[in-house]
Amino acid sequence: MANTLSNAAGSIQFDADVLVIGGGPAGAWAACSAAGNGARVVLVDKGYCGSSGATAPSGTGVWYVQPEQAKREAAMASREALGGFLADRAWMGRVLDQTYDNINLLAEWGYPFATNDEGKSQRTSLQGPEYMRLMRKRVREAGVKILDHSPALELLVDDEGAVAGAMGVRRQQDESWVVRAKAVVIATGGCAFLSKALGCNVLTGDGYLMAAEAGADFSSMEFSNAYAIAPAFGSVTKTLFYNWATFTDEAGTVIPDAAGRHRSVIAKKLLSEKVYAQIDRADESVQAAMRMAQPNFFLSFDRGGINPFTQRFPVTLRLEGTVRGTGGLRITDQSCATSVPGLYAAGDAATRELICGGFTGGGSHNAAWAMSSGFWAGAAAADRARHLGTRTAKRVVTRAGGVALETRNDRPFDPARVTRAVQDEVLPYDKNYFRTGTVLHHSLRQLDLLWSDIRQADAAAPEDVVKAREAAAMTATARWMFRSALVRTETRGMHKREDYAKLDTAQRHLLTSGGLDEVWVKTRPAPALAVQEVAA
Partner 1 sequence: MIELVSAERCTQCNICVAVCPVNVFDAASDGPPIIARQSDCQTCFMCELYCPVDALFVAHDAEGPAVVNEQVLVETALLGSYREAIGWTPGSRDRRGTDQSFKLTQPH
The candidate with the shortest Cα–Cα distance to 503, out of 79, 81, 78, is 81
Of residues 245 and 454, the one with the C-beta less far from partner 1: 245
The conformation of residue 450, written as its DSSP 8-state character, comes to: H
Of residues 102 and 220, the one with the C-beta less far from partner 1: 102
Of residues 230 and 400, the one with the C-beta less far from partner 1: 230
Of residues 122 and 334, the one with the C-beta less far from partner 1: 122
Q: How far is the CB of 463 from partner 1 (least distance, A)?
A: 11
Q: How far is the CB of 20 from partner 1 (least distance, A)?
A: 17
How far is 41 from 30, CA to CA, in rounded Å? 10
Q: How far is the CB of 293 from partner 1 (least distance, A)?
A: 4
Helical packing angle, 465-487 and 206-213, nearest 10°: 80
Of residues 241 and 369, the one with the C-beta less far from partner 1: 241
How would you label 151-183 residue by residue, b for 16+ Cβ within 10 Å and e otherwise?
Answer: bbbbbbbbeeebbbbbbbbbbeeeebbbbbbbb
The candidate with the shortest Cα–Cα distance to 183, out of 363, 323, 392, 24, is 392
User: Facing residues of 397 across strands?
Assistant: 158
Helix, coil or strand: residue 21: strand
Binding-site ranges for partner 1 (CB under 8 A) = 46-48, 50-53, 56-57, 59, 61, 112-116, 122, 124-127, 129-130, 148-149, 171-172, 196, 198-202, 233-235, 240-241, 243-244, 281, 285-286, 288-296, 298-304
Q: Which amino acid is at 223?
A: F
Helix, coil or strand: residue 511: strand
Q: How far is the CB of 59 from partner 1 (least distance, A)?
A: 6
Q: Are 335 and 376 in contact (CB under 8 A)?
A: yes
Of residues 57 and 515, the one with the C-beta less far from partner 1: 57
Q: How far is the CB of 367 from partner 1 (least distance, A)?
A: 12
Of residues 303 and 391, the one with the C-beta less far from partner 1: 303
- What's the half-sphere exposure (Cβ side, CA atoms, 13 Å) at 152? 37
Q: How far is the CB of 508 from partner 1 (least distance, A)?
A: 29
Of residues 108 and 333, the one with the C-beta less far from partner 1: 108
Q: What share of the chain is helix, strand, coil (3-state, %, to 5)?
A: 40, 20, 40
Q: How far is the CB of 127 from partner 1 (least distance, A)?
A: 6
Helix, coil or strand: residue 218: strand
Q: How far is the CB of 114 from partner 1 (least distance, A)?
A: 5
Q: How far is the CB of 378 from partner 1 (least distance, A)?
A: 22
User: Facing residues of 145 across strands?
Assistant: 42
Q: Are 53 and 401 in contact (CB under 8 A)?
A: no
Of residues 130 and 383, the one with the C-beta less far from partner 1: 130
The conformation of residue 532, written as its DSSP 8-state character, comes to: -
Of residues 286 and 487, the one with the C-beta less far from partner 1: 286
How far is 88 from 357, CA to CA, in rounded Å? 8
How far is 275 from 138, CA to CA, in rounded Å? 44
**Any residues with CB less than 8 A from the CB of 241 and at least 6 apart, and which?**
260, 279, 282, 290, 294, 297
Q: How far is the CB of 116 from partner 1 (least distance, A)?
A: 6
